[in-house]
A and B are shown apart, each in its own frame.
Chain A
Amino acid sequence: MGTHLPSGRHVAMICLTVAAIQLGGCGSIPDLKGFADATGDMRAGITTVGNEFAQSIPSDLNTCGDTSCRAKFEDVWKSRIEAMGAIADYSDSLAQIAAAGKDGAATAEKVLGSANGLLGALSVSTIPAAVATAATKALAELANYRALKSMGEAIEAAQKPIEGVVNVLEQDLAVLDRTLSDISIGVIALEENKDKLQAGAAVAQAELSIKEYLRLISNDYSSLRSNSMNLAAVRAGSARPVQSGCDKEETCVTAIRAVDLRLTANREQLAKLQRDLEGFEKSYAPVKASKDAVAARISTIRKGIVHLRSGLRDWIVVHGALGNDVRRSLQPNVRQLVATAADLRKLIDDMRKAQ
């Protein structure tokens, strides 16, 4: 059977309670879920934007030496993914401290449970309920205090290296954005060039011919107008033509008949060319769609970059304020960061779906 609890244990519990009271004024631990989730979205953004950029590099470029440009890029981007992974891991470690601090009472109960298990194994009486309650409260306070202190220290130590990483990523993303603009223009130009080998050349030729026929027809209508006016003047007995062109009955009639014949033939020719052009444009449509797809894809990646850059800027501001929030027991303001991260997440989903 168990013996009576020695008074030493009471003393230990009282000491713990006193220690907890001395930590008085312990603030509440901030909720870091939104912050940690947004950081996860930033990490996914860095990975996805990198993958998409690699896929956008034309595979047939004779550059980058022996390695393909895609492989070379993926190699340098790996360290960006690792850096963002380290930041996400750091956010997670802060969330773990916060959770440990908040779960202080549960932790205390677990420890007291284990202690009672040991006392039972040693055939000694377990800790009385009143002492256990006081100890649980004291341990919970202590956990809260230690969590706040540990978070504050970690945030202070991490701010500078994280600012450094964000600064590097900012510069890298600006380079990707600029290069994507070049890739978009260049790839579309190359697609345009391929088009000309196919339907594009016929379309261009037909368009040129149509332009030429329209010019001829317009000239002939002018000629028909002036010759008609001149013939009317001749028949009315006027000595001089009212417009440049024919000035006698015979020449005017000949000119009008010739222009009429030419106009009719040219109009038929124009109608035929316009029908041909419609046909060419139908076969040109898939190539145009492919060019549009390139433009749309690159535009989505560039939007992703804009959101990512904005998200990183929000992130560093929130992190910078977090140390102060922890000290003053304030909840971090992550509204803007969470909103940007949500937009980024949607774009990432779109990019993944389009793959």
Chain B
Amino acid sequence: MTNFSEIDPARIEDWAVALGKLLTDASECLRNNDSVLRSECLQNLQAFIRINAFQTLDDVAADTVRDLLGASIDAALASIAQRTTTLQRLTKDIQKISAGARKDASSIRLEAVTRVLDASTESIRALNDLRDTLKGEANATELIGKIEDFVKKTQALRNELERA
């Protein structure tokens, strides 16, 4: 880091010379886009602003600090952005694996089997209820017959499955 201790605090011309050197270094940092050099330039400018007593020189140094900060953030954004496409592709791969794993979890819980059994039970109950309701109706004989036939066929199917 630059040492300013030998500069006479009261002589603006000496401080201007020191600033001139820092500005030349800063131009080099901006041209090279080197993060290590940029950090060093920022540190020297910060020390200059902290130590010297001349506001006008400080203002020039502060403008250069802004330029270097802007360059640092630009470089960071560019570096991060260039990896985004790769990251998005990898993210999709992981999402596919997670979707498969969730499907497996659901299958292990036999959710589909339970759902089918419950839905079948509800259907049979609803058909039995409907048959009982229709029993008093004169014109419903044919329909009642069809419902009873369906329930019998379902029982037969179940028995077939038992034997299989």
Contacts and interface: CB of A to CB of B under 8 A. Distances in A.
Interface in A53-68: 57-58, 60-64
Contacts of B35: 178, 182
A92 B94 CA distance: 12
A21 interface: no
Nearest to A183: B69
A27 interface: no
B46 A179 contact: no
A143 to B, nearest CB: 5
B5 interface: no
A9 interface: yes
Given A64-B77, A181-B39, A186-B46, A86 B9 contact: no
Contact of A121 (B42, B125, B164): B125
Nearest to A143: B108
Contact of A111 (B49, B83, B114): B114
Interface residues of A, number: 87
Contact of B72 (A110, A150, A157, A179): A179
Nearest to B161: A8
Contacts, number: 240
A115 interface: yes
Interface of A: 6, 8-9, 12, 57-58, 60-64, 69, 72-73, 76-77, 79-80, 82-83, 86-87, 89-90, 92-94, 96-97, 99-101, 103-104, 107-108, 110-111, 114-115, 117-124, 139, 143, 146-147, 150-151, 154, 157-158, 161-162, 164-165, 168, 171-172, 175-176, 178-179, 181-183, 185-190, 192-193, 196-197, 201, 204-205, 208, 211-212
18 contacts: A61-B69, A62-B70, A63-B70, A83-B87, A86-B98, A101-B108, A110-B114, A111-B117, A117-B121, A118-B120, A120-B121, A121-B125, A123-B155, A179-B72, A182-B38, A193-B49, A193-B62, A196-B55
